[in-house]
Amino acid sequence: MLKDVGAKYVILGHSENRQLGESDQLINKKIQSSIKSKLKVIFCVGETLKQRKNNKTNKILLKQIKIGLKNIRKRKNIMIAYEPVWAIGSGLTPKNSELLETVGFIKSKIKGCKVLYGGSVNSNNIKDLKKIYNVDGFLIGGASQISKKFVDIIKKTVN
């Protein structure tokens, strides 16, 4: 249906859907279906604040990635969006060093994959976030719903 209405990308695995009961296995089926339909996939992964505080970030991300991408060999049309659940809409973001490390971990598990960052990206933090060399782009959430905020982010990204 998405392809029929002109969609080229689909976001799968977002934390809001996971909280509503979307399992890693269901996400895997959706990714497989999307790839068959020739859609580009933005596959969201991320940990809760409790998981981060308990040093389980890498374990959680690895589980989400392994199950989410199970039996998917052609991955050129898949991007990973690292979205720490605790950062989404909270105004909080990981320290640059933490983000560098976490994105590096993801890239070490999925060779050649582009990794986006999403989680309270705004016009105040975009300049610092774009300094992180291994982040390939950004998935803008709430700030994209207000045109002035979104344009401000874009302007600060290209300057």
Residues classed as catalytic: 14, 83
Maximum Cα–Cα distance across the chain: 44
Contact 93, 87 (CB under 8 A): yes
Structure tokens at 140: 């803008």
DSSP state at residue 143: G
Please state, in angstroms and rounded to a whole number, the distance separating the CA atoms of residues 16 and 34: 19
Please state, in angstroms and rounded to a whole number, the distance separating the CA atoms of residues 40 and 10: 6
Which residues make Cβ contacts (< 8 Å) with residue 60, sequence separation at least 6? 45, 46, 47, 51
Beta bridge partners of 45: 82
Structure tokens at 153: 């982010």
